[in-house]
Amino acid sequence: MREAYIVDAVRTPVGRREGGLSTVHPADLGGHVLKTLVERTGINPSKVDDVIFGCVDQVGAQTMNIARTAWLSAGLPEEVPGTTVDRQCGSSQQAAHFAAQGVLAGAYEVAIAGGVENMSMVPIGSGFTAGYRAGYGHPMGGEGWRERYGDQEVTQFRGAEMMAEKWSISREELDRFAFSSHTRAARAWEEGRFDREVVPHGDVRRDEGFRPDVSLERMASLRTLAEGGRITAATSSQISDGAAAMMIASAQAAERYGLTPRARFHTFALAGADPVMMLSGPIPATFNALARSGLGIDEIDLFEVNEAFAPVVLAWAKETGASLERTNVNGGAIALGHPLGASGAKLMTTLLHELERTGGRFGLQSMCEGGGTANATIIERIFSSH
């Protein structure tokens, strides 16, 4: 039976809004991780069958198939193709699914999955905003949508508030979770946990968003985003810039090209949920992944669940019974940032390296996505004795 293996995975530091990566063209940012991946693995780049990148706001600098322009901008062979996918915040996790599934199907021997987003240069929602202002219509303005969901507000901010209310998560719980994200991120950098996965870009050598001096008191003083709500800027993910990429290969290709399998794709799952609440998809996606894998929640050593907003992870943990002690152990998007189209590959990169650091076997990743969908992936670390 064919397998799909991760042979290496890297990411840039995550730059904060208007920070050290804000002026880097996203094709160059993506090209940076692609070139590094090729150099680290030592593969002849012409042997890569396809490059699949996630990117959410495909407008301006990020349009015209950024997987292709990033590869070419890195000086890599013109004969290697590329394609760009959009599953909203889960775009590069979906890119990993597509690449691994291509290897499993025998369509690819070696593929690269990744993603990029420069949210400083191309602000969130740019595609919608530019199109709407140009008179090209509203994505939820069709007759069928309005008949089903009306003209109610559909935003991630409202979705986060709806989740906090539905799962009875208090403002204090949200603040404590965000505080933990920052302290875990600071500890991870202090202990060198990110050293193997992060590829510095210019003078930017570390993630820029985490706050070692985080204070619960300061968090408690922040105004909520909505009048009478519970969500604040501190319990929301950060606007960020970054890129990540991983190389995925068959066993035959790994042997042929001298690549070392480090983890295999064990299980893929997807789910759809309420598109108005939008952010609850990781709950059914996780249950779907566990059912397909035959594993129990306690058999998963580490979890990476994107911290789009604090209630996403807290509600997920309540429903699944997953331990928060094994979830986002090095901090998440609240502290480290959420460069939309890059985040799925970024989380999987961290999951791989942390499984190796701790000696764990199984890791599960899930992300909420616009439209109420979610991806879930289980990877299994390859033990050196194999």
- Predicted pLDDT of residue 1: 86
Q: Check residue 385 and give its pLDDT.
A: 46
Domain ranges of the chain: 5-123+239-257
Per-residue pLDDT 10s for the chain (386 aa) are 899 999 999 999 999 999 999 999 999 999 999 999 999 999 999 999 999 999 999 999 999 999 999 999 999 999 999 999 999 999 999 999 999 999 999 999 999 999 999 999 999 999 999 999 999 999 999 999 999 999 999 999 999 999 999 999 999 999 999 999 999 999 999 999 999 999 999 999 999 999 999 999 999 999 999 999 999 999 999 999 999 999 999 999 999 999 999 999 999 999 999 999 999 999 999 999 999 999 999 999 999 999 999 999 999 999 999 999 999 999 999 999 999 999 999 999 999 999 999 999 999 999 999 999 999 999 999 987 43
Return the pLDDT at 232: 98
CATH architecture of the domain 5-123+239-257 equals 3-Layer(aba) Sandwich (3.40)
Residues near 243 by beta carbon (within 8 Å), at least 6 away in sequence: 11, 12, 26, 29, 30, 32, 33, 70, 114, 115, 116, 117, 339, 342
SS3 80: coil
Q: 3-state DSSP call for residue 244? A: strand
Say if pTM beats, i.e. exceeds, 0.85. yes
Say if residues 77 and 68 touch (Cβ distance below 8 Å): no
* Residue 373: φ, ψ to 5°: -105, 170
Determine which helix (DSSP H) or strand (DSSP E) holds 140, and give its type and residue range: none
Give me the DSSP letters along 195-227.
Answer: TTTB--BTTB-S-SS--TT--HHHHHTSPPSST
Cite the active site residues. 89, 338, 368
